[in-house]
């Protein structure tokens, strides 16, 4: 595989950054993840962290060197992340479960597959035009589908941030999956949180990738989103990959041709004991360690039980 990839996240006007992101790749498969912890609920940052870490860990276990079924992997891994968040709530005796949105994408064998829950988005850009994007699991999107609102209202409607689908909710989330999408050299896949897409237009997104490398386009879009939103800016996160793009060179691009079988490169950190501890939690250190072991054991069990296709 040959590609260029770049990721960046800014806190904006919020007290903390509850967005999380990361990517992993083997010689023949690439995984990208962006999660947006929901600030209206307790510890959204923890939900986002658990989601990214869970999906990343499963990829590292199963991508040898490709996934047998990217779509099956994405659905099962995202649902497992949901279960890990619920487990974290129970283990820490929280009044409610932390919640997060998620968008993830796998690229292998020259094709892309993506999945999402909530309103973190993926855009597929080709020659300066958006040719596909995810559909938000929001109240305004539902109203548009029912003919109760205009598509022009999607980025400005007062209910645009009201979601009916997320990880960590009492209900099992619905994971929306894409079809197999064949990529062409120069195509860009852009994953971002609502702090970015709600502040900039689709035209600005497509234009940013028309003439710039992903290393330039992503920080430009983040800066634009922060400027447009001003002091009320949400956390802003973006990650983009250019597939065999014209911008690929020895200094910026990635070639996995020389990677040995079994090797994995990742930017996803594993959870540390301190990250799983709730402030003023009545749990002891040994109980926290057991909670961590339970999460890791559950991930391993999910891997073993995942149907083979």
| CATH at 122 | 3.60.40.10
**What's the predicted TM-score (pTM) here?**
0.84
Domain of residue 74: give its range: 2-305
Q: How do residues 174-225 score in pLDDT, each as one tens digit?
A: 999 999 999 999 999 999 999 999 999 999 999 999 989 999 999 999 999 9
What is the total count of domains within the chain?
Answer: 1
288 C-beta neighbours (distance < 10 Å), count: 19
- CA nearest 304: which of 108, 71, 84, 80? 80
Per-residue confidence band for 304, with pLDDT thresholds at 50, 70 and 90: very low
Distance from the first to the final alpha carbon of the chain = 24
As a whole number, mean pLDDT of residues 125-150 equals 81
pLDDT tens-digit series, residues 1-47: 999 999 999 999 999 999 999 999 999 999 999 999 998 668 999 99
């Amino acid at each position: 595989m040959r590609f260029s990839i770049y990721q960046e996240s800014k806190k904006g006007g919020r007290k903390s950054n509850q967005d999380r992101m990361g990517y992993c790749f083997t010689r023949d498969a690439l995984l990208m993840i962006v999660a947006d912890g929901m600030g209206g609920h307790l510890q959204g940052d923890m939900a986002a962290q658990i989601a990214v870490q869970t999906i990343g860990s499963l990829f590292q276990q199963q991508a040898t060197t490709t996934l047998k079924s990217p779509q099956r992997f994405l659905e099962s891994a995202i649902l497992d992340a949901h279960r890990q968040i619920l487990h974290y709530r129970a283990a820490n005796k929280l009044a409610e479960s932390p919640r997060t949105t998620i968008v993830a994408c796998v690229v292998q064998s020259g094709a892309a597959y993506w999945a999402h829950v909530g309103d973190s988005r993926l855009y597929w850009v080709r020659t300066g035009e958006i040719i596909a994007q995810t559909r938000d699991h929001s109240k305004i999107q539902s109203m548009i589908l029912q003919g109760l609102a205009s598509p022009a209202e999607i980025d400005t409607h007062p209910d645009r941030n009201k979601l009916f689908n997320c990880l960590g909710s009492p209900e099992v989330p619905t994971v929306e999956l894409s079809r197999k999408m064949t990529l062409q050299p120069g195509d860009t896949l852009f994953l971002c949180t609502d702090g970015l897409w709600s502040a900039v237009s689709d035209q600005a997104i497509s234009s940013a990738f028309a003439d710039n490398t992903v290393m330039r386009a992503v920080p430009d879009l983040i800066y634009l989103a922060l400027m447009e939103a001003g002091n009320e800016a949400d956390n802003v996160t973006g990650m983009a990959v250019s597939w065999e793009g014209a911008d690929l060179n020895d200094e910026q691009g990635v070639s996995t041709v020389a990677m040995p079988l079994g090797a994995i490169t990742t930017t996803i950190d594993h959870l540390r004991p301190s990250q799983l501890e709730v402030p003023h939690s009545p749990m002891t250190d040994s109980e926290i360690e057991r909670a961590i072991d339970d999460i890791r054991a559950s991930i391993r069990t999910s891997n073993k039980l995942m149907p083979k296709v």
